[in-house]
Amino acid sequence: MTAPTASQHKLLVLAPTRRAASETFVRANLQGLPFELTAFFGDERPLKSPWRLAYGLAILISKVLTRLRWFRLASWPAAIVTLGLIRQHRPKAVMVEFGFEAVRVMEACSWTGVPLVVHFRGSDASAHARLGLLRDRYRRLLCIAAGVVVKSKPMAQTLETLGARQDRLLISPSGANTALFKGSAPENTPPVFLAVGRFVEKKGPLHTIRAFSLIHSAGVSVEEQPHLWMVGEGPLLGEAKSLVQSLALQEYVHFLGLRTQEEIAMLMRDVRGFVQHSLVASDGDSEGSPVAVMEAQLSGLPVVATRHAGIPEVVLEGESGFLVDEGDVAAMARAITRLIEDPELAARLGSCGRRRVQECFTIDHHLHQVSDLLRQVIETSR
């Protein structure tokens, strides 16, 4: 009897949402994994689809029970529905996006013996409201899981302290899209810099603005003044706009709102470099490995960012960009100034970054790595 190919293997995917603008990596997995996929999302409750309605309601009940700190009880509603999904669809494996979603459904895999692969992304392995609150549940999850995907070495180390086995851990950044991100020529562009990301504390938008303020205060030896384009929305957007006004930077800092991936790729062809001041937020929330950093490098842009989470695994200090300590806006300002004053340096760093991402950090790399892990998990479970 011929063994089934990967595309013949059935995979059940469970995730909190597919609608959020920031969840492009979830959609990339659904489109790119070479399996027969069936996906359910915790924020979808369509009346015409009983199983999807049941899953969405079960996740809602689990959230309420978690807020009440009834953690063990919170694992039951979605697990019971997932048990029904497993019996109906008969998947060879279950892959769950985000650790906080996985603890809600993990017992179904324990009951049925269907291998579970959980994909940690960032806040689910760092924020106090997730990691701190669910620490004991994560220990149970890591005992059940046949495979664990993380975004960076620090994230892997965090989960290892909770019991994750090294032989079940895959470190795999989500990767950049080679079809979109290409064609930047920073040596030929004006001194414009791009920041892409939600306006939340861990993305450091206020620190980025303060760094630009220092650049303008010091003055730079170029004819054209530097500008900052900021893409995204979020709870800190109002504060960011107020900060720009208080620093008299309205002429130089521009808020572009939400943009599509295609629009962001086009913006990257019109700028000198990419900036992101990621840092650990006050609630413990941390990055995994920011996709926008990889997209910028794949485009051919130099990156100025922080020594945070998985960023140093992607950006090589002095080779594909510059890294500064979290919170050090003066160092960020100096790094950006070097790129303002030396377009050829920006081009050299950008070329190195492009080669590095092409070799290691594309979406295809990520999908191949996750697919190999899933195949291994499925074969081992036979």
| Rounded percentage of the chain residues whose pLDDT exceeds 70 | 95
For residue 181, pLDDT over 90 is answered with yes
Please check whether residue 174 is in contact with residue 291, taking contact to mean a CB–CB distance below 8 angstroms: yes
Token couple for 352: 């190195």
Task: Please give the pLDDT value at position 7.
Answer: 56
Q: How far apart, in whole angstroms, are the C-alpha atoms of residue 191 and residue 306?
A: 20
Identify the pLDDT of residue 126. 83
CA atoms within 13 A of residue 31's CA, in its CB half-sphere: 10
Range with the poorest average pLDDT among 24-28, 218-222, 287-291, 321-325: 24-28
Integer Cα distance of 147 and 125 in angstroms: 15
What letter would DSSP give residue 159?
A: H
Structural domains of the chain, with CATH: 6-175+362-381 (3.40.50.2000), 186-360 (3.40.50.2000)
At 79-98, the pLDDT tens digits run: 999 999 999 999 999 999 99
Q: What would the two tokens of residue 131 be?
A: 């990691």
**Residue 116 or 122, more confident:** 116
Distance separating alpha carbons of residues 305 and 193, to the nearest angstrom: 12
pLDDT at 3 over 70: no
- Higher pLDDT residue, 317 or 128? 317
Place of tokens 């009880």: 73
What average pLDDT does the segment 373-377 reach? 96
* Longest CA span, the chain: 73
> Does the pLDDT at position 45 exceed 60?
yes
Residue 68 has a pLDDT of: 94
Q: Give the 3-state DSSP-derived string for 243-283, with helices as H, strands as E and coil as C.
A: HHHHCCCCCCEEEEECCCHHHHHHHHCCCCEEEECCCCCCC
Question: Average pLDDT of the chain?
Answer: 93
Give me the pLDDT at residue 90, please: 97
**Span 118-139, pLDDT tens digits:** 999 888 888 788 888 899 999 9
The pLDDT of residue 60 is above 50 = yes
H-assigned helices in the chain: 24-32, 50-67, 71-74, 76-89, 99-112, 135-144, 153-160, 205-218, 237-246, 261-268, 291-299, 311-314, 329-341, 343-360, 363-381
Q: Identify the pLDDT of residue 2.
A: 43
Predicted model pTM? 0.92
Contacts of residues 57-65 at CB distance under 8 Å and 24 or more positions apart, as own/partner, are 58/104, 59/16, 59/101, 59/104, 62/104
Please write the tens of the pLDDT for every residue from 223-269: 789 999 999 999 999 999 999 999 999 999 999 999 999 999 999 99
The pLDDT assigned to 132 comes to: 85
What pLDDT score does 6 carry?
Answer: 52
Mapping DSSP to helix (H, G, I), strand (E, B) and coil, where does residue 210 land? Answer: helix
Q: What is the pLDDT of residue 1?
A: 38
pLDDT at site 40: 96
* pLDDT (mean) for 345-369: 97
**What are 186-211's pLDDT values in tens digits?**
999 999 999 999 999 999 999 999 99
| pLDDT band, residue 5 (cuts 50/70/90) | low
Bridge partners, residue 149, by sequence: 119, 170
> Among 15-29, 108-122, 269-283, 334-348, which is the least confidently predicted range?
15-29
